[in-house]
Structure 1
Amino acid sequence: MLNRILFLFLAGVCLPIGKLQAQTVWTLDECIAYALSHNISLKRQRLDIEESRITLQQSKLDYIPSVKANSGYNVSVGRVLDPTTYSFIENNTVSDFNATATVSTDLFAGFKKHYAKQRAELALKAALASSAQAENDLALNITAAYLEVLLADESIGIAEHKITILQAQGQQTRQLVDAGKITFGELLQVQTQIAEARTELLSAQTRREMAGLKICQMLEIEEYDSFRAVNPELIMISETIFTEDFDDLQAATQSLPQIERAELEIEIAAKELATAKAALYPTLILTGGYGSSYSDARQKVRTDATGNPVMNVNNELLYANYPWLDQIRDNASAYISLSLNIPIFNGRQAKNKVRMSRIAQQRAEYNLLLARKELDKQIQQALIDARMALQKYHASQANVSTNEESFHYMRQKLDAGAATYVDYQVALDNLTKAQSQLLQSKYEYIMRKEIIRFYKFRTFAN
């Protein structure tokens, strides 16, 4: 999504995503697309979305009545209470079993479940917005790191070119020394300059290695030493980006993820306030249950074929074993109940929670104002930085042209014997420094330009 909008100034041959791990030459679009799929920090951020989805699913399931089933098996020895007859049995071992099933639901609870579901829906949207913001931040960080690699590559080229110039000058100086036209000390000066230039090259190579490591860590690839960035042959530097009006950019950024997230936080706080108020209302709970029990100590009166009790000669009732299925059927019972809970006093916990929720809602409103204010500041800063970077780039161009002329003039004077090697080295150092400043200002300008492009086009992406 993001790579269709951002940073299209680089060209390159795109390889299939499945082969990206093995490639060494990367375009910026490929880096962004690969990072969006593989960056571990982004994957961790996306776990919040899965948690929010589970919370939303649970809030929907909370509307379903809760069903519980309980059962128990007990063995008692000695003087035992028969749970089916509530009579004591002396010096015996009794086994009993019971099972119950209960169904309960809230008929009214101040619409807590309704508010919980709405809050879960908003929380999911907020998690999606946070993930989108993380993607945007990652894309911008990838872009900055990519430009660091390009800058480091060109800095190496400048250092190598300086060494080439000094080596050529060293050969010429050696010939002059052999011819006896100059002293050996001047050759030593050139060799010292070559050694210093090689040190500068080593520093540039180190910066390049660190830049490659930085971007490869964001890409989650290990071959940072073989990472290569596509260096465009031509980068258009123009002032067309500054025709954008601040108000237009401001309007285009109002649906950025950080703004959407702040707006959702206000709605979430409103639902939490409604949930806190619901605790002040009575709750009405409907409960129903069904259960039965069995005891091996229980016996049933014997009956004859006509159903009359059977007695012995002493005119006492005779008992027989009470089968398990018969007990379960005969001991079965069901019930239904309505319970009304009215909150009267709980240490003002409910009311204080309402007050805290109101404060949280107000804080969320302030956070939105601060987010918009911060975004306006970033837009203004981006425009100022881009203008300054462009001016710095043009100034660096002029500085390079001046130092190139100065260097060529000093070289001619050196060849004519009208200048010293110290003067020549100063001119070469000034040229190298000007070229480095030009590179830095160029990539700084490109980065500022892409930030403005992002602010301008991000909200129109689909």
Structure 2
Amino acid sequence: MKKLIICSIALFSFAFAKAQTQKQWTLQECVQYALDNNISIQQSELDLKAVDADRLSAIGNLLPSLSASTSLSENTGLSFNPVTNNAQTTTFLSATGRINVGYTVFNGLRNFRQLQRAEISQIANQYRLDKMKDDIALAVANNYLQILNNKANLETLIAQNLVTKEQVEQTQTLVDAGQLPKGDLLEIKATDAGEQQQIIIAQNAVTISKVSLAQLLLIDDYATFDIAEDDFEIIDSGISDQPVTSIINSAEENRSEVKIAEQNVELARKDLQIAKGAYYPTLSAFFGYDTRYTDATSFGQRIADPNNPTITRQIGTVENTGQAVVSEVPNTESFIVGASPFIEQLYTNDGIGYGFQLNIPIFNGFSARSNVQRNEINLERSELQLKQAQLDLESTVYQAYVDVQGAHKSYEAAKTSLESQELAYEYARERYNVGLTNAFDFSQSKLRYDNTKISLNQAKYDYIFRLKVLELFFGIDPKDLKL
């Protein structure tokens, strides 16, 4: 017996020293790590960034549009001079530049509504992100408490098995002395074997629950992952003593389920306003500036002889007499005009254009009207979903409140049952030690005692989890959950 105790202490000391070299995660660390690394949360954060881009686009629709363009070309053969607009058979280089400014003065307030919709969508996505964080935190807490429960069960089974091994040694001594039948020894050994099997099952349960939490946290090193092994007590901040109506009201103010549904109604309302904007005319303003350059030559006219500025030329004949008709015309000659400098052409060949454009919708195949009808239906659907979300939240909170009350009663009942079973077990052990009861009856009493301790562990951590759920509904931040 002394060797067994020494070996157990040594094994426990080794396991404890090994655990000390490993990081042991607290609940707050697990929750924070999950919030920082969970893939679903990261995807929701990307959705929030996408909404920021939509909002930026909506803001841009309220601002004037500005564009600039330029072109450079070389023409060979018969082409139109972009400056004189005359046809020429030659080779020349030409360049044009243009700046356009446009602004939507009125389009049924659709641009303004789009900005409002983007802002509402941003709020809605933030609420969705908050809800996902709450769900992840609750899942982490549930897995964390499951590990604690499985560890507590394992400790219970190991401790009770040590007692059983002690009984095996005592029974062996009594059987060897002829004071007890060999059947009692076999019964105790069978109990020991059964407990060893339960210990193995409990160890596997601890391992599996730790792996589940590690996977939820996206931690790959399952072998070394472990949680802090403190003696967690039930911490009731008094929320369970609040009237259920107060908890429901707090949940409606703090929880994201109803807020998401409310923002969906606002989104549907904005979509309807945007759709109705298609009924109104669209008024746009525009302004354009352009200029051009070419290196093409052109022809000019000048006075051939300054001393004789005019000459007499025949311009026709009289039809009946055939008499010539003459007139004085300018004495001019053609000459080649070279291209003006680039900078000079830019400001001499420029021009501007500006004005307004009004587009009045008259008939578009009922597309605007059908779009309005679809959005009216969507608004009604969103309003119904809001009512359903309010009812669901009220039902869920009420269920959580009842679960806490029931878990508390179950925990108190389990404690009372454990006290009774412990007294019964001690009484049975005393009777067994003095030979007043057989090994089977003693093992049954011990089994009931062990099961009661396991039931108490289950009731304790179930009660803690129910309290954490109620705290989240009451508005406590997931990172502030405490055990």
Q: TM-score range by the shorter chain?
A: 0.7 to 0.9
Is the Cα–Cα contact under 8 Å of residues 150 and 231 in structure 1 kept in the other structure?
Answer: no
Q: CA deviation at 1:283?
A: 0.5
Which range moves more in the overlay, 426-435 or 171-180? Answer: 171-180
Distance in 2 (CA, whole Å) between partners of 1:163 and 1:49 is 55
Q: Which residue of 2 aligns with 1:318?
A: 336
Could you tell me how far 1:219 is from its partner in structure 2?
3.8
Report the Cα distance in structure 1 between the residues aligned to 2:382 and 2:118, rounded to whole angstroms.
Answer: 17
Which aligned pairs between 1:172-187 and structure 2 lie closer than 5 A?
172-182=170-180, 186-187=184-185
Q: CA deviation at 1:86?
A: 4.7
Q: Partner letter of residue 194 of structure 1? A: D
Identify the match of residue 389 of structure 1 among 407, 429, 435.
Answer: 407
1:434 aligned residue = 452
Q: Which amino acid aligns with 1:264?
A: Q
CA gap of 1:399–1:303, structure 2 versus 1, over 3 A, is farther
Aligned pairs for 1:244-255 within 5 A: 244-255=242-253
Aligned to 2:214: 216
Deviates more, 1:417-426 or 1:294-303: 294-303
2:392 aligned residue:
374
Q: Which residue of 1 aligns with 2:326?
A: none
Deviations 1:94-117 (A, max 9, x none): 543222110000111111121112
In the alignment, structure 1 segments of 5+ residues that lack a partner are 1-21, 305-312
Distance 1:207 1:372 in 2: 38
The answer as to 2:110 corresponding to 1:112 is yes
The aligned amino acid for 2:454 is S
Q: CA deviation at 1:138?
A: 2.4
1:141-187 Cα deviation digits (max 9, x unpaired): 22222211211110111121122122112222332344355566654
Taking a change above 3 Å as real, the CA distance of residues 158 and 286 of structure 1, as seen in their structure-2 partners, is same
- Compute the displacement of 1:247 (Å): 1.9
1:155 and 2:143 matched: no
Q: Deviations over 1:418-439 (max 9, x none)?
A: 4333333322222222211111
CA distance in 2, matches of 1:454, 1:320: 84
Asked whether the equivalents of residues 143 and 447 of structure 1 are also in contact (C-alpha less than 8 Å), the reply is: yes
User: How far does the alpha carbon of each residue in 1:212-243 deviate from its partner, in whole angstroms, 9 at most, with x for none?
Assistant: 233334444445534223533643689x6554
Contact 2:55/2:118 (<8 A) preserved: yes
Q: What is the root-mean-square deviation of aligned Cα atoms in Å?
A: 3.0
- 1:228 matched residue in structure 2: 227
TM-score (norm 2): 0.80
Moved more, 293-302 or 136-145: 293-302
Q: 1:414 aligns with which of 406, 422, 432?
A: 432
Which amino acid letter does the alignment assign opposite residue 160 of structure 1?
Answer: I
Counterparts in 2 of 1:67-146, with a 5 A limit?
A: 67-77=66-76, 79-90=78-89, 93-146=91-144
Task: Report sequence identity in percent.
Answer: 26
Q: Which moved more, 1:24-33 or 1:252-261?
A: 24-33
Q: Name the counterpart of 2:46.
A: 47
1:37 alignment counterpart:
36
Letter of the 1:136 partner, please give it: D
Contact 1:284 1:340 (8 Å CA) reproduced:
yes
CA contact (8 A) 2:297 2:338 kept: no
SS at the partner of 2:364?
coil
Matched, 1:448 2:466: yes
Q: Tell me how far 1:267 sits from its aligned partner.
A: 1.7
The residue that corresponds to 1:309 in the other structure is: none
- Between stretches 413-422 and 144-153, larger displacement belongs to 413-422
Larger radius of gyration: 2
Return 288-297 or 408-417, whichever deviates more: 408-417
Shift of 1:382: 1.1
Match of 2:371 among 347, 350, 353: 353
**Counterpart secondary structure, 2:334:** coil
Query: How far apart are the structure 1 equivalents of 2:191 and 2:349?
Result: 105
Instruction: Give, in angstroms, the shift of residue 303 of structure 1.
Output: 7.0
Determine the C-alpha separation between the residues in 1 that align with 2:64 and 2:291: 22
Change over 3 Å in CA distance of 1:454–1:233 after alignment to 2: closer
Partner of 1:8: none
Q: 1:299 to 1:23 in 2, by over 3 A?
A: farther
Letter in 1 for 2:144: Y
Q: 1:281 to 1:418 in 2, by over 3 A?
A: same
TM-score, with normalisation over the residues of structure 1?
Answer: 0.83
Matches of 2:194 and 2:297, distance apart in 1: 104
Q: Is the 8 A contact 1:407 1:428 kept in 2?
A: yes
- Check the 8 A contact 1:403/1:431 in 2, yes or no: yes
Distance 2:273 2:298 in 1: 58
CA separation of 1:77 and 1:203: change in aligned 2, threshold 3 A: farther
Distance 1:234 1:68, change over 3 A: closer
